[in-house]
Chains A and B, each alone.
Chain A
Amino acid sequence: MLTIKQLFKKSSQYKRAKNLSKKRIKNKINQEQHNQEEWYKLDNAGLIFPAIQQSSWNSVFRISAYLKEKVNPQMLERATNDVIKRFPAFNVSLKRGVFWYYFQQINKYIKVEEENTYPCQAIPLTKSTPLFRVVYFNKKISLECFHSLTDGRSALVFLNTILSRYFVLLGHNINLNNLPVSYLDSPQPEEWEDAFNKYSDLKEKAPRKEKTGYQLEGEINKNKHLNVISLIMNSNEIKTLAQTKYNCSIQEFLCAIVIKALQDQQIQQISRNTKPVKLSVACDLRRFFPSKTLRNFANVINFGTNKGDGELSLEQCVEYAKQGMILFTKENLMKINNTNVADQKNIFIRLVPLFIKNWIMNMVYFGSSEKGFACPFSNLGIVNDGAEFKELVEKYDFIVGALKFNKFATSVITYNNNLTLSFSLKVKSTDIVKKVSDILVNNGIKVHIESNMNNKI
């Protein structure tokens, strides 16, 4: 039996506990609100994508991992939400400022859905929706990102971190130390730095002007959906062929094949006064400028044939590719970076309101940006991070959504001796892919094809 004094003590203890729990709840809410007030400026490369978006299109790319077993959606969702805390600058939505767009942290629960539409559909940039999506289908897990958020290299790191957590949840033994980012670590500020600004010295700049290049023509798909055709081949075979027969690297060889296919396509349509056939080849700047950033840090250089070139042999195209790859030096990339950053830092451009800036960027983009090249070409290289998942992941796939005006895009990724060369086409005709495939087959390469083209209802 408790005495009155004990009862009183207990009630005051209860009141203190109640007040403390109220205070804790209030602190938690304040902390959550504070986290939600975290915001990030867009990096230099990310500034253009929101400006050129349309209601049915924005710049999206996809990285997929094909597992050896069917995907467990509940575990995948749990893994995604566990890992997103390690990448706080990924759980953001796009907001309009008066002068620039910015990212607002939203800390939303990420829902993982079954894939039920075409790849690289526009990601809604409205209100508080995350700028990426995780979808699954059968044995495939795909991560689709809006390009302002991150680039292919960092998206691959994010996907591999999700996979590591997913496999751990399924009971597999994964050594997290072998991965570049472990979901058990805390986020580091260097991972969200704008590396473009960090490495620009604004001394020398590269010229922007480019001549109009050849553009693939064709009837656009209804609703502009993407037809994806992936050519899968043995990377050792390609490497041997490129080195022994053409004395070049895999990258140069693949660029040369695409250039040759485009040139042949152009000759078929117009036999003379040909335009230059150029590719916009992306380069990960982390190879030249050390940075831990998980945001965009890549630039592009356009190269290809000259104006008036007739039919070219593959050897001639390889020469063009080699001349193009020579341009990827630290000095050249620094100049390109300086040009882009100088525009961003120009006081007159900074003070222009966003709606006028968007209009101007759209006009400049339409007038000059994509007209200089026929297609973007992105090579993520060999997926070394996935070595831990050798027994669990069969292959990776990398699809770049076609740009605003270009009709198709090319992307490459290699894993476990499987090189996947993917074409995402906005047009109905697949002639260009057939030409590429013919070149490979004629050179003795065994090609396997995967595509979404047969799956229409």
Chain B
Amino acid sequence: MSLHNFCDNCKVSIDNHISNCPLCGKCVSEKEKNLLTTQTTTYPSVSNLNNKKMAIIKLISCSLFLATAVLFAIEFFVTKSIRLSFYFLASYLLFQFAVLIPIKHNFSLATSSILALLFLQCYILFIELYSHTFGWGVTYVMPLIALAYSIYNGVLIVAKGYFNFEYFLPICFSGAISIVFFLVNYLNSWKFWPSLAAMLFSCVIVLLIIFFKNKRLKKSIEKKFHF
């Protein structure tokens, strides 16, 4: 053993790099000094831990909340109504649930993208209903977003070969949403070609995977649903 310090109070020998006894806190007596110049410690010197990621997320979340509250106050006191502020509130909620929470809780790519799609669709529906300009969201924008999402997942699956259930689920989800849009538009005799395109694309990708990569998919479903 190398040369050590000794605590007269606790009657224990202590590693020579420790100047204060960990048990009683007193400065230890130096029996013989260690003359080695190289480091002989067993633990590194560390600064206090800071979880930077959490701190930044909290900062962004608080800043946005504060900005929304300030806008509410300004609009209320200036225009005596809070009509526009609800748009900011909806945007804040969208950003919170679609971006910050997945980052904070380290959701997987599939879960994050499903949440983003879901909240984006809700946001567009809210704008459509709140602004009384019904017709552009459900008919065009939302189905086209679902189509873009299906194309994105389709590229991931086909080009990159990601046949996991994690990538299969988002395509099923966007397919289900597209079917809902198609039915809503068709039954109301609105323009249904965007939702039809999204529905057909998603269904084709799902069927291709089921028919040509069913073994991989089966294994993926088996581990996901094992009980």
A interface residues (Cβ-Cβ under 8 A, vs B)? 33, 37, 39, 41, 55-56, 66, 95-100, 102, 104, 114-119, 121, 124, 126-127, 137-138, 140, 222-223, 225, 227-229, 231, 350-351, 430, 433-434, 437-438, 441, 446-457
The residue in chain B whose Cβ has the minimal distance to the Cβ of A454 is B18
Interface residues of B in 1-33 (CB under 8 A from A): 1, 4, 10-15, 17-24
Interface residues of B in 29-54 (CB under 8 A from A): 39-51, 54
The residue in chain B whose Cβ has the minimal distance to the Cβ of A432 is B23
- Chain B residues with CB under 8 Å of A433's CB are 22-23
Asked if B40 contacts A98 (CB within 8 A), the reply is: no
Q: Contacts A430-B22, A449-B15, A455-B44 given; 20 further ones with Cβ under 8 A?
A: A55-B51, A99-B226, A100-B227, A102-B226, A116-B46, A127-B106, A127-B108, A225-B48, A229-B23, A351-B227, A433-B22, A434-B23, A437-B23, A441-B10, A446-B13, A450-B14, A453-B18, A455-B41, A456-B45, A456-B46
Asked if B49 contacts A223 (CB within 8 A), the reply is: yes
- Chain B residues with CB under 8 Å of A118's CB are 46, 49
Segment from B68-76, B176-184, B187-195, B217-225 that makes contact with A? B217-225
- Chain A residues with CB under 8 Å of B19's CB are 454
Q: Given A116-B44, A127-B108, A434-B10, A454 and B20 touching (CB < 8 A)?
A: yes
The residue in chain B whose Cβ has the minimal distance to the Cβ of A66 is B42
The residue in chain B whose Cβ has the minimal distance to the Cβ of A455 is B45
- Chain A residues with CB under 8 Å of B23's CB are 229, 430, 433-434, 437, 449
A98→B104 CA distance, assembly (Å): 21
- Chain A residues with CB under 8 Å of B1's CB are 448
Partner of B14, one of A100, A116, A448, A456: A448
Q: Given A137-B42, A350-B227, A438-B10, A454 and B49 touching (CB < 8 A)?
A: no
- Chain B residues with CB under 8 Å of A96's CB are 108
A112→B42 CA distance, assembly (Å): 17
What is the distance, in angstroms, from A100's C-beta to the closest C-beta of chain B? 6
A138→B38 CA distance, assembly (Å): 10
- Chain A residues with CB under 8 Å of B44's CB are 114-117, 137, 455
A278→B17 CA distance, assembly (Å): 35
A11→B226 CA distance, assembly (Å): 52
Asked if B223 contacts A453 (CB within 8 A), the reply is: no
Partner of B12, one of A39, A115, A448, A452: A448
A14→B216 CA distance, assembly (Å): 34
Partner of A37, one of B17, B24, B51, B216: B216
B interface residues (Cβ-Cβ under 8 A, vs A)? 1, 4, 10-15, 17-24, 39-51, 54, 104-106, 108, 161, 216, 219-220, 223-227
Partner of A455, one of B24, B46, B105, B227: B46
A74→B224 CA distance, assembly (Å): 38
14 sampled A-B residue pairs with Cβ under 8 A: A66-B42, A95-B223, A100-B226, A100-B227, A102-B226, A115-B44, A116-B46, A121-B49, A137-B42, A430-B22, A437-B10, A438-B10, A449-B18, A454-B20
A-B pairs with lowest CB-CB distance, top 9: A452-B43, A126-B106, A99-B227, A434-B23, A451-B22, A223-B49, A454-B18, A350-B227, A39-B223
A456→B108 CA distance, assembly (Å): 35
Asked if B161 contacts A33 (CB within 8 A), the reply is: yes
- Chain A residues with CB under 8 Å of B108's CB are 96, 127
A335→B85 CA distance, assembly (Å): 62
A228→B49 CA distance, assembly (Å): 16
- Chain A residues with CB under 8 Å of B17's CB are 454-455
- Chain B residues with CB under 8 Å of A351's CB are 227
- Chain A residues with CB under 8 Å of B39's CB are 138
What is the distance, in angstroms, from B151's C-beta to the closest C-beta of chain A? 24
- Chain B residues with CB under 8 Å of A437's CB are 10, 12, 23
- Chain A residues with CB under 8 Å of B50's CB are 223
Asked if B226 contacts A222 (CB within 8 A), the reply is: no
Asked if A138 contacts B42 (CB within 8 A), the reply is: yes
A97→B40 CA distance, assembly (Å): 46
Asked if B22 contacts A449 (CB within 8 A), the reply is: yes
The residue in chain B whose Cβ has the minimal distance to the Cβ of A425 is B22
What is the distance, in angstroms, from A142's C-beta to the closest C-beta of chain B? 10
A448→B161 CA distance, assembly (Å): 57
A437→B19 CA distance, assembly (Å): 18
Q: Given A41-B226, A99-B225, A117 and B46 touching (CB < 8 A)?
A: yes
Asked if B54 contacts A55 (CB within 8 A), the reply is: yes
What is the distance, in angstroms, from B202's C-beta to the closest C-beta of chain A? 22
- Chain A residues with CB under 8 Å of B14's CB are 448-451
A270→B105 CA distance, assembly (Å): 41
- Chain A residues with CB under 8 Å of B47's CB are 456-457
- Chain B residues with CB under 8 Å of A127's CB are 106, 108
The residue in chain A whose Cβ has the minimal distance to the Cβ of B51 is A56
Q: Given A138-B40, A138-B41, A229-B23, A451 and B226 touching (CB < 8 A)?
A: no
The residue in chain B whose Cβ has the minimal distance to the Cβ of A347 is B227
A95→B20 CA distance, assembly (Å): 45
- Chain A residues with CB under 8 Å of B48's CB are 222-223, 225, 456
Tell which of A351, A447, A457 has the most Cβ of chain B within 10 Å: A447
- Chain A residues with CB under 8 Å of B43's CB are 115, 119, 137, 228, 451-452, 455
A114→B43 CA distance, assembly (Å): 11
A437→B161 CA distance, assembly (Å): 60
What is the distance, in angstroms, from A126's C-beta to the closest C-beta of chain B? 4
The residue in chain A whose Cβ has the minimal distance to the Cβ of B17 is A454
A361→B134 CA distance, assembly (Å): 46
Q: Given A99-B225, A117-B49, A430-B22, A140 and B42 touching (CB < 8 A)?
A: yes
- Chain B residues with CB under 8 Å of A231's CB are 12
What is the distance, in angstroms, from B225's C-beta to the closest C-beta of chain A? 5
A30→B148 CA distance, assembly (Å): 29
